[in-house]
Amino acid sequence: MKVYGITNCNTVKKALDWFKANQVMYEFHDFKKLGVSPEKLQEWDTKAGYEVFLNKKGTTWRDLDQDTKDSIKTNKDALQLLQAKTSMIKRPVIEDGGFLYFGFDEAAYQQHFKK
């Protein structure tokens, strides 16, 4: 299983604490240090749609100028922006086989990892 996120994000910390408490092994990928490839973003877009993981509630989105926000008209536009500003990706991103989840949801984690 792979967890993508940013180490100082409270939501990521909450998820990692849940995994540790429930003895779920994971590999962590830090967006700030390692970035994210265009191929990975395309994969997530194909599976879930960028609208699911483009975090428009966060500070990074709110701090963008209106012209930049308005320029997001296609998935290509969104993915280029997300690669440049990884802090706009809804975190954490959890990949475990066919399971792909964005954000922290204890009920979803329970259902998937407590089988």
Residues catalogued as catalytic: 9
CA distances from 61 to 9, 69, 80, 88 (A): 15, 8, 14, 6
* 3-state SS string for the chain: CEEEECCCCHHHHHHHHHHHHCCCCCEEEEHHHHCCCHHHHHHHHHHHCHHHHECCCCHHHHCCCHHHHHCCCCHHHHHHHHHHCHHHECCCEEEECCEEEECCCHHHHHHHHCC
